[in-house]
Each structure stands twice: as structure tokens, then as C-alpha cells.
Amino acid sequence: MPKTQEALYATLDLDLSWSERELPERERTKHVHRLHPYLGKFIPQLVEVLLGRYVAPGGRVLDPFAGSGTTLVQALESGYDAAGGDLAAFNCLLMRVKTARYNEFTLEKELRDAVARHESLPDRSECLTPGHGYIGQWFAPQAAADLLAWRALVDEYEHADVMRVVLARAARSARLTTHFDLDFPRTPQREPYWCHKHKRTCRPVDHAAHFLRRYALDTLARIKAFARVRSRGRGAVVLHGDSRELAWCDPAEHAPFDAVITSPPYPGLIDYHEQHRYAYELLGLDDRREREIGAAAAGTSKAALAAYGEGIAAALRNAVSALQPGAPVLIVVNDRRDLYPEILERAGLRLEGRLRRHVNRRTGRRAGEFFEDVLVAVPE
Ligand SMILES: C[S@@+](CC[C@H](N)C(=O)[O-])C[C@H]1O[C@@H](n2cnc3c(N)ncnc32)[C@H](O)[C@@H]1O
């Protein structure tokens, strides 16, 4: 029998469950959180509440599966230091760009200069190698030429990484995909098509210069907006690598961390390298997908779930070794396979509480009711 609303709400942590009206998309994706799309992130407001409840002001927070950097960015905004790691090179690039401090004058000068130079190039199609490899397959000729011309400029600038993120975002928008299949498009869309999202006939994108300009200016505005709200004197460290092996802190230099706040990958759900394939192809980033824990490509067979459990437990054990005694480990999961009791035990963690939250997911085609838990654990 379905639960009544009252019975359902009694099991929920209402301070962690926002309705769309209470927390509209523009708040969830405020300032640098929207520098680039990323499938599978949690929202900054969740991190904000958890920091306030579990970590003393000014503490140091660790996220071993830091993804697009939500924990790090919110930590900086809420007055904490943070460290985060991720296996995926693009995620680390994005986190570094989000959390770095900038001389805004230089950043603005460089971005505007790059846009102006790019737009004044006489014939961008010179950069094009038509019909060849990923770029030839997934971009219309002019779009590929626009992107490659931007790529040729970025190394000349101090803020090349910011421009690389702009390039990746423009590339994502300029791919030959339908508007309703931007996350994991299967085949290039070269002809006009009936668009389920816009309820009309849409055409695949044929150039990218307008995206480069728009995202360069948007990135600048977002970095400036974050600079106004981030705490002075707080910093974030980004480590690229496998969180089972990363050396989180040099004990000679830093005190241990005061908390872990993280959302691990779920088994068989998302391929974190593949979702940003265009960025790896265009930027020549190191692809380590074979080390992804729980990758969708590995499936959900018994063996895959066992490898997943072992991988997450090893990563959590490694994170715990960098914590103060008794520090909380907060893990955001949708553990419908009930894998986490065993994972926590193997990681040397004791479950102290489970906060249930109602996630209002109304974006794109991933609509529907969705619940997730915040596991509150402490080292044994
Ligand atoms: C659910 S996402 C984290 C999202 C993050 N909370 C955010 O808001 O952006 C899980 C992340 O774990 C990373 N990951 C998977 N296997 C890993 C490994 N072996 N070491 C480090 N990171 C890994 C993925 O690349 C992905 O970015």
C-alpha cells in the first residue's frame, strides 16, 4: 500500500529535502557550479547544511570522489578549507578552474582578447581536417574549425585552463547531437530532426564561435560572482588520481581532516570519462577510465558489484587514514542494493545515522521521484 504523505515525511530529513520552488535551478547552479555540465553531482545546499551540522567553522573537509567540485566550492563559500580528488582528468581541470583565485582584471582582459582574436581570424576552416576521427565525426566542419582555432590560441594565455573549460563547454553544445540526448549521444545527428524537448523540428548545430563567446563571458561573470562570496584565506587542493591510492595530506605540513563529505559513484550508472569524451578528445587529456569504480560499462553482475564494494571500501579506508579521530564521514548514496553496510564495515567505519532526503529531480528526461540517504559514519 502506498505511504501517506504524512508517513513518508516522518521518515525524511526535511531540512535536506527542498522543493523546486524553495530551491530553483538557478540557486542549485549558482556562480561556478554551472561552469560546465556534469551528470551525477549533488547540490551545494546539501553540502552547506552538512558542513553546518557536522564540521566546526574553519575546519578542513575531504572529498575522495570530488567530481565537479561541489564539496570544494561550497566549503570555500562556507568558510572551510577543502581537498578533493578524482580519477577523471577533466573533472580535476574543472575543479581547479572553479576553486582557483584570479586576478579578475587579467582574467577579463585575456578572455575578451581571446574572443576578439578568435572572431577576427580570417578563415577558421584552415584548422580543419575534415571527416576524420572523433572531431570529424561529431562536429560539423565549421564547428570543428571554430573549436580547433580556439584551442590553438589558449596556450598563449596565463588563464589557459579557464579557456580550456570554455572550449569543452562550447564543444559539448556544438556536437552533432539532438537537444534531448546531450548526456550520452549514440550517433551523430546530421539532418534536421523532430525534437522531443522543444516540440518542433530542430537542426544540428553547424558552428561554435557563438558558444565560445557566450561561454567565455558567462564563465567570467560566474568566476567574479564566486569571488564575491568565497571566504578569504580559505583554499582548496585538487588531487588527480585513484582515491584508493592518493596521498591526501602530508602530515608534516597539514593537520588531518575534520570530515569527509562525498558522493561515491553508484554501480553501473554513469561512465564519468565518457560523459566528457569531447573534452578528452579536444584537450588531449589522460584517460584512466579502466580505473573507474562502478563504471556503467562494467555493468551490475555479481562480480561487478563485488569489485565495486571492494573499490569503494578501499577508497574510504584511505580517506579515513587522513582523518582526525572520531571525525564524521558523510556519504550521500542511493543504496538500493544495500551494499553500504558491508562497505562501511570493510572501510573500518561504524554507521551512526542515516538521513533520508527527497530529491526533486525534474531536469531533462530524468524526471520522477527519487530518494537518497546521507550515511553518517565514524571511524571505529
Ligand atoms: C557521484 S560522482 C561525484 C560528484 C560530486 N559529488 C559532485 O557534486 O560533482 C563520483 C566521482 O567519482 C569519480 N571516481 C570514480 N572512480 C574513481 C576512483 N577510482 N578514484 C577517484 N575518483 C573516482 C568519478 O570520476 C566521479 O567524478
pLDDT in tens, 180-224: 888 888 899 899 999 988 899 999 999 999 999 999 999 999 999
pLDDT of residue 1: 45
Residue 313 CA to residue 329 CA, distance in Å, equals 13
In 3D space, the residue among 187, 208, 188, 192 whose CA is nearest the CA of residue 125 turns out to be 208
pTM for the full model?
0.93
pLDDT of residue 17: 87
Residue of 80, 84, 30 whose CA lies nearest to 50: 80
The CATH architecture annotation of domain 5-99+236-379 reads 3-Layer(aba) Sandwich (3.40)
Atom in ligand 1 nearest the alpha carbon of residue 67: 27
Residues 6+ apart with CB under 8 A from 224: 104
Residues having CB within 6 Å of any atom of ligand 1: 38, 40-42, 65, 67-68, 70, 85-88, 91, 242-244, 263-265, 272, 291-293
Which residue out of 86, 260, 269, 330 has the highest number of ligand 1 atoms within 8 Å of its CB and is therefore the one to mutate? 86
Q: What local confidence, expressed as pLDDT, does residue 11 receive?
A: 75
Per-residue pLDDT tens for 252-307? 677 799 999 999 999 999 999 999 999 999 999 999 999 999 999 899 999 999 99
Q: Mean per-residue pLDDT for 138-161?
A: 96
pLDDT digits 0-9 by tens, 2-36? 556 666 566 788 888 888 888 899 999 999 999 99
Ordered by start, the domain boundaries in the chain are 5-99+236-379, 104-225
* 227 or 129, greater pLDDT: 227
